[in-house]
Homo-oligomer: A and B are copies of this chain.
């Protein structure tokens, strides 16, 4: 195995040894997220029940938690899994979908933040609101540009001692001290449902591969999406043809191409 210092090297390392990634995600994202992980080289497992989520988090190499279609029972499973992942020293990623929308959701995300996710990924509206700012979000689609979420992301990263990723037209990743921007992707991506949720799962897959470099893992996942999104857009006539081309592009991407084409800059 080559040195895992670049996004491309991390992608190759993931494919050499497919990590088992425990995904608790929403009903909309289940299928596409699993396909994104398989195309990228990881082994996804969707396990949510409180009866087994904790035990399974101890077996998997990373956990991802997404509150998109939340219920009380699922929240129990998320909390059990998050505690078990933390106990076992495994990274876990929180995706606070539309957490500002209802009281139930606000409380749930506060409870999950208290369990110390190692990485948080959201859209701009979600990250602004999570940091205590005023977002324009209502539903699951962001109504704020990423640029306006950068300061919120830094504050949130410091407060939570976590890596925070804001995704949108230009992505932003920070751990409070270091920050980078990642360009790429396609305007068709927000027209395909649950690609953001799928990216959260892919962040988990990279985190499972390089748990010693979670900042690098997050950047690698976002760069993978950005480059594959550009490839998929080439022949796409709309969101329908984009979606399957995106899976083909993920599967076709290799580490060398990823490193050559990723557009990551210090912020």
B71 touches A49 (CB 8 A): yes
C-alpha gap A190/B52 in the complex (Å):
25
What residue of chain B has the Cβ atom nearest to residue A60's Cβ? B139
- Most B-side CB within 10 Å, residue of A43, A59, A71: A71
With A52-B105, A243-B240: A43-B140 Cβ-Cβ less than 8 Å: yes
Shortest CB–CB separation between residue A84 and chain B, in angstroms?
Answer: 11
A181 within 8 A of B: no
Q: Please, which residues of chain B bring their CB within 8 A of the CB of A51?
A: 71-72, 102, 104
| A88 → chain B closest CB, angstroms | 14
Bound: A241/B235 CA distance, A: 12
A193 touches B34 (CB 8 A): yes
Interface size on A, residues (CB 8 A): 62
Task: Report Cα–Cα, A140/B71, bound state, in Å.
Answer: 24
Q: Known contacts A68-B46, A139-B20: does B240 contact A52 (CB below 8 Å)? A: no
Interface residues of A in 231-267 (CB under 8 A from B): 237-241, 243-252
Known contacts A35-B239, A60-B139: A44-B193 contact under CB 8 Å = yes
Q: A51-B104, A59-B101, A194-B34 are in contact. Are A238 and B248 (CB under 8 A)?
A: yes
